[in-house]
Structure formats: C-alpha cells, structure tokens
Chain A
Amino acid sequence: MDTDFQFLERIEPEPWEGAQADQDGSGLSRREFAGILGAGLLLTVAGDVALAQRRGGRGFGRGGGPSNIAARIHFGSDGTITVMTGKIELGQGARTELTQAAAEELRVAAEQIHLIMADTALVPNDGLTAGSGTTPRTVPAIRRAAAAARKVLIGLACKGWQVEPDTVSVKDGVVTHKPTNRRVTYAQLAQNSELAKQFAQTIPSEIALTPVSQWKVMGTSLPRPNRREIVTGAHRYAFDIVRPGMFYGKVLRPPSYGATLKAIDLAPAKAIPGVVVVHEGALVGCAAPTSWLAQQAMSALAKTATWETVPQISSKQLYRHLKEHARSHRGPGRGSAAVADTVAASAPPDGAETVLAHDYEIAYLQHAPMEPRAGVAEWKDGSLTVWACTANPFGVRGALAGALELPADRVRVIVPDVGGAFGGKHTGEAALEAARLARAAGRPVAVRWTRQEEFTWAYFRPAGVIEMRGVLDAQRFLTSWQQININSGGSAVDTPYEVGQKTCRSIKSASPLRQGSYRALAATANNFARESFMDELAHAAGADPLAFRLVHLKNARLRAVLEMAAEKFHWQEHCKNSSANIGYGLACGTEKGSYVAACAEVAVDRDEGKIHVRRICQVFECGAIQNLANLLSQVQGCITMGLGGALSEEILFADGAILNASFNHYHVPRFKDVPELEIHLLNRPDLASAGAGETPIIAVAPAVANAVFHASGVRIRSMPIRAAAAMIPSPSGRGLG
C-alpha cells in the first residue's frame, strides 16, 4: 500500500471532544426522568413508526467552523441560498441534517437551501466526517453562521426602515415590519452592497440559537434532499464520474502483503493498441478507453511480473501474535498473559473473593461499503481536480499535494455523495492512483477498485485481544476491574460501571494487516468484551445479569436505556420461563455522548450448527432528536450491521493474502438475516444532540453472545461468535441466575 497515506491511518478517526461530559449523569432523578417520559417525550418505534414528541428546553452551541459568515453562506440576488460544508454525505444523513440546521436558523423552508458538500475549492474545512462529529460540531457551526446571517439581514432591513430589530419578524425568508406593513425578502436584501462587508464579520460564538421548543425544520423527519436523484439513478457517485476523453485505469497489485516487484516487462501491455502503461516508482498501472481493455493490459502486465515475498503470519496465528507483540507493559494487577484462562467461573464460597480473568478475541473485518474506492483525476495547467469517495476531503487534498509535490491550492478534491463508508474511507488511495495515471496518460483517468481490491487493500477494522480481569468481594460486588485492549483501540475501553479499582487502557501491537477506523471503531470490540465479561461475573456471582449491572451502575442516562430495554423486552418473564436452546441476553454501553441498551433472543440450532438471532429490542438515546426517521434508519442499520460482526464477518488470511475477499466467502447480513427489531428512541430535548450513526452498533454483539451463553451454557469469547463452539452439549450452565 502506498505510504503516502500512512499519516491518515490513525486508529481513532478523530479525537472525540469530551465536552458533553456534563451530560453524563445529568443529575436528573429517576422521578424527574419518569416524569418527562410520562409527558410524552418517549418515541416508540415497533413495527410502524409512531411519533410522539414534545419539545422543550434549551438549544446548544459550540464547535469549530469558519470564522466568517461568507465562508459558510451565500445569498444569491435570485433568491438562492447556498450553504457550504466540508462534511460528506455517506448515507448517514448529513446532507439532510445540515440542510435542516441552516433552514431552521435562517427561517426558511428546507427546500430553499442548496447545500454544497465537500468541494475543497468552495467549502470550509469541517474536518473528517467521522466520529459522530457532524451532529455535535458541524450542526451547531452551521446554525451559528445561519443565525448570524439572519441577524445581519434583519439589521439591514431595519436600517433601511429605521426601525428597531425587535419590531420585525422573519418567516420564509421575508422580513416584515407589521406596524408599517413593510416587507423585504432576503433576495432583495442580498443586493445591498453592505451585505458583503457584514458577511466578512466573525461569527459570534455566543449567538443565540433557536430553542428546541421553537424548532420548525429541525426535529422534523425531513427526507434526503437529493432522494429523487438516487431512485432514478441520476446521482453520480465518484465511481460514476465520467470526464471528456477519460480513460479507465488499473493498478498492479502484489500477490501478497509486503511483496516487492523484482522485474516486469511492460512491452506486452504496451503492444495493445490504445493502452497507456505507467511505471512510476512503486506504481505500475495502465489506462485504456474501456475498463475491459485496461483489465486485459493489466493481465498482460501481471503475467510478466516477478515478486519477492516476505513471510507473513496467518489468521490462525493472529491472536498469539498480537499478544506476543503487545508493545507496552501491562500494568499492575496482572501476571503473565497465561493467567487469563486458568480461573474457573464458579460461584464463590461465602466470605471469599472471586477472581475471573479471560481473554476475548476480536477478528479483523472489512467495511465493504457498496461503493468500492474510486477516484477520477483531471489535470489542467498544472492543477489537479479529483473526484473521490472519501470521508476526508481536505486530508486527501493534503496527501495528494504531498505525494505529487504540488501546493495544496493546486489540488481540488470533490466528493460526490458517497456510497457508504462506515469508517472505511478516511483515505484516498484510488484518487492518488488516478492522479498519477492521469498525469502520465495526459488525459483524465478513473480508477475504480474491484470488490476484491477493496477486500484486500482497503484498511481493516483492527483485530484485537482484550484481557479482562474482575474481582468480586464476598458480597458479590466488583472491587477490581481490568480491561486491556491489545491492538484494536481505546474507544469505550473505560467502563461505565462502578467497579472499585480499575485499569482500562489500550496498548499497541504489531498488526499484520493494514488497519484503520470502523463504525464506532474499538467500541464494538471493547463493549463486546466488557458486556460479555459482566455477564460472566454476574453468573459467577449467582446474580441476574440485569440486576448485577444495575447494582454497579450510577450513570442515569445509561441506566435509563438499560432499564427500559429490559422492560420492553420483558426480561424478567424470560428469566423465569426459559426453554431448551432458546436464550436471552442483554448489554448496554455509551460512546460519543449517546447511550444504548439491547436485548437479544437467540435460538441455538445444534443440528444445523447455527445461531439464529430471532429478536433484538434496543433502546437508544442521543439527546435532542433532530430527525426521527433518519435516526431510526441509522439505528436499524447499526443493529443489522452489528449482527454481521457478531456472527459471521471475519477476514481470513494466510501467506499475506486474503482468503475470503468476496461477498461469496465473506458473509455480510442479508434480508433473511434481519431479526424482528423493536426499537425505542428516547428523546431528550433538554440535552444537546449527539451523533447517532455509530453507537447503536455497540450493544448488539454482546447481547447476542450473552443470549448464546444462556441458550447453550457455552461462553464464546470471540467476535464473531463462532457458532460451532456453542454446540457443545452443556446441560448445566444456564446463564441467568
């Protein structure tokens, strides 16, 4: 893989700003909270969308964004309102949400907003689209800019009329002074020469935003503004961009990771009419008028290539390898790693401590967005324009400028709405490949990765080994807790429970595969280990898993979703009336300022050797809901995607090659895999909105693992949860105490 993008390969997509800390344990008592619920703030979705929403409370505002209004908003004298953002639409709903934010504060209908996203020549740098950052940071930034713009426009109207700003009102882009029955439109005001001067002003950080109780556009289920282009096939993803005279490019890939090219004969490919062959440093590629011809030329090139390979470990050795290469010292309270599996999970005799320690294993997996990596590059007068599918337009601009030795202002990156990413597109490999081929070919070139390339050369969600250790005192309370994540990252490694003495951290190892971010990243792994291990401890304590958690949990928001999930799922009834091979499990967690709990019902089919997830009941809370329909689709998508990681998704590799680099051999969830879903969304208009595209994934896998234990008596400490391991007959180990 080209090292030009190494700097982008950070495990954490971006530091999560912990400024919502004041929301944690917000001080709301159980009674107050129940009161709010009773007043109709609860949004329940089971089967059909049912809405019940009462709004109240305060708005919010913080975050970055450009310093002046003009960089964010443009008013055309023809009435068009253009809003600019560096954020990307990846299917998560950013286009919709940011349109709503601008419309709300400008007091116009959403249809009046034209949102330009992710064109580095036009938009401010709003950072990487990752880490659930759009809702808590970019929405407020756009709202502040729009509110400041509205204030300027009102000011201009009032100055012209010589009236006070508090005597006018604004609706649908028209400023009205009722006492004198005068009206002026934004379009008319935009012609005022003073506007440009005033739009150059710094956006005040303390400008008042519309309170939730007065939202008219935010808080509604606005559909995606460009949805018609999607259903008619008119929208062009980066994969679909065509430029005049464009060729289709292919890049030679090594047969295995770490292999270096020793020799190649370009002549056979060059002999194919119409084909351009490029050998530039480590890059060998070709471009042709059709991708078919390019593929033929690439096959000719590949036949002549000889490679020097280096030994690579296989997925069978992965977890031992990660542990052996763990880079830092393991900290107190722990001997050698071999201690891990030696402690039996049994109820303690009265008066004694119980110590449990186990390792959990997390597989590499691939994001496999429907749109594989793609880039189209076009050079003109020494400047480069690329269309790329990436979540990181400005980062890719910098990477291209660096790799191609250009000043950044000669590189323009345009990101059409993307065909899925899930944390997997923080880089721009195809864009750089296209840029190099296009420069050599002297014409625009498109590089579109195949599915096999995407499975092999895109970065993976990190694999990991998570070492868990917990100590229960004689009263079955946790007094000590340790969670050490080796290699897969630190998101959600800390426990939300009251556990006494604790050590929670992540340490690096030597990853055999190229790794990067993922949807909720390590929170999927860390939550799986923590919530599974909490179940193990509950079992050791002879306690109900729900009761055991609640005893150790003070965080009011997390308690609320957990208790509600248990209630809606009829947890207590299931505990009493269990049947053979059917199991129930629950899990909860918090990440990036939102809260989730899930209950799962599974059937273990010992004849077929399969785990069937029959039902998931999930409760999610992310503060004030900005778009219910979009939120619901994110939660549903997260749950089902989470089932893939829980049950089947695992990258297998040997000798530096991926063994299951296709949808035929790497099973992702399909229609038939979707269980009965019962989703409850808690609205908290009194709290700032948190992003919601990630956290709803984190409780699914542990809830399923806990249900499998309940059904089979077998604790499976790996993700994916390998069904075969659950088939061992075990008459004794019912999970619920």
Chain B
Amino acid sequence: MNQTIRLTVNGERKIVTTDGDRPLLDVLREDLNLTGTKYGCGEGRCGACTVLIDGKRAHACLTPVAAAEGKAITTIEGLAKDGTLHPVQEAFLAEEALQCGYCTPGMILATVALLDVHPHPTDQQILEWMDGNLCRCNGYTQILRAVRRAAGWHG
C-alpha cells in the first residue's frame, strides 16, 4: 500500500511515496541513491546497514520506512560536512581500520552513536556496543583502535 512518507535525510527533506513496509534500507539505496548504507544480512545481525535515526543507531534493514516518518536520518554520506570528514571517519583513516571496507560505513555510524551515549567509553562498553557489527575481514583490532582514537584515547 503506497503512502507518502516525509523524511529528513542528511539534513535534506525528502518525500517518498512508497509501500510503508519497505525497509528503510531499500528506500535509501534504491529511491534516494544512497548506497553507502549496506545490505549484509537483512536480520539486524551484522550492522552493515547501520544508520542514525534521530541520532540513535538503527538497523535500516529492519526499519520499515513508515516508522521513520518525520525523523532525521543520518547515513554515511551525511557525516562529512563541506568536504571535511567527521572525526570518526578521520579516526578510521588514521588507524587504517578498513580492509574490504564493506562494513566500514556501519562501523563508523555505530561509533558515532556510541560516542553520543558514552562520550568516554571504557573498553568493555566499546566491545558491548560494537559486538553487533560484523567485519568478515576480521579487522577488529584496527577498528577497536579507531574507536578508541575517536573517543580521545590517543591520536
């Protein structure tokens, strides 16, 4: 059933007319051409589709687009401002915390959300928070370093 849904995506107002049950992930990727948000599992178990909805981490694959009505969505394309990378993106670059890079957008957005909730996270908090995001290259060591760097541990 098509309905009109109003979203704010990366600061821009968007109106989409679509089936409200469609995953937000599909709408971002197919209707709004924002392919930085990745499909990984479709069941919220890998974190590749992580976005921020009203600043909170969400799995775009499990979020019906109708549930995002009127909300502010941030995708990986919306983190950099005027060509200046977000500090979390900079931290991932500084630590070379990427191999194939497919999980990277989700990892970065999960980190942004983490630092919003825990500005000075402990290692245990980082592990608990990030454990839902998979990296099949198993680059966890570098990603942890990037998260710590973004949290101001060093660097």
What is the interface of chain A, defined by CB distance below 8 A to chain B? 90-93, 221, 223-224, 227-228, 230-237, 239-240, 242, 248, 290-292, 367-372, 417-420, 422, 448, 450-452, 629, 633, 636-641, 644, 662-664, 668-672, 674, 677
Contacts and interface: CB of A to CB of B under 8 A. Distances in A.
B93 interface: yes
A245 B87 CA distance: 37
A369 B136 contact: yes
Contacts of B54: none
Contact of A231 (B22, B37, B42, B98): B98
A495 B41 CA distance: 40
Given A223-B93, A417-B101, A677-B141, A422 B136 contact: yes
Given A223-B96, A370-B38, A662 B43 contact: yes
Contacts of A633: 96, 99, 137, 139, 142
Interface of B: 18-19, 21-23, 26, 29-31, 33-43, 45-46, 48, 75-77, 79-80, 85, 89, 92-93, 96, 98-105, 108, 126-127, 130-144
A231 B92 contact: yes
Given A231-B92, A232-B85, A418-B100, A672 B41 contact: no
A420 B100 contact: yes
Nearest to A237: B102
Nearest to A454: B41
Given A242-B33, A451-B40, A637 B138 contact: yes
Contacts of A669: 138, 140
Contact of B136 (A234, A236, A370, A672): A370
Contact of A236 (B19, B35, B139, B143): B35
Contact of B131 (A232, A370, A419, A670): A670
9 contacts: A91-B100, A224-B96, A232-B79, A234-B77, A248-B30, A292-B22, A420-B136, A663-B134, A674-B140
A340 B28 CA distance: 57
Given A91-B100, A371-B100, A233 B33 contact: no
Given A223-B93, A290-B22, A671 B140 contact: yes
What DSSP secondary structure best describes chain A's contact surface?
loop
Contacts, number: 174
Contacts of A670: 131-132, 134, 140
Contact of B134 (A230, A370, A448, A629): A370
A193 to B, nearest CB: 41
Contacts of A227: 93, 96, 98, 101
Contacts of B144: 671, 674
A451 B41 contact: yes
Chain A CB count within 10 A is highest, among B36, B103, B132, for B36
A633 B141 CA distance: 8
Contacts of A221: 96
A230 B30 contact: no
Given A231-B101, A372-B40, A633-B96, 4 more contacts: A420-B100, A664-B43, A674-B140, A674-B141
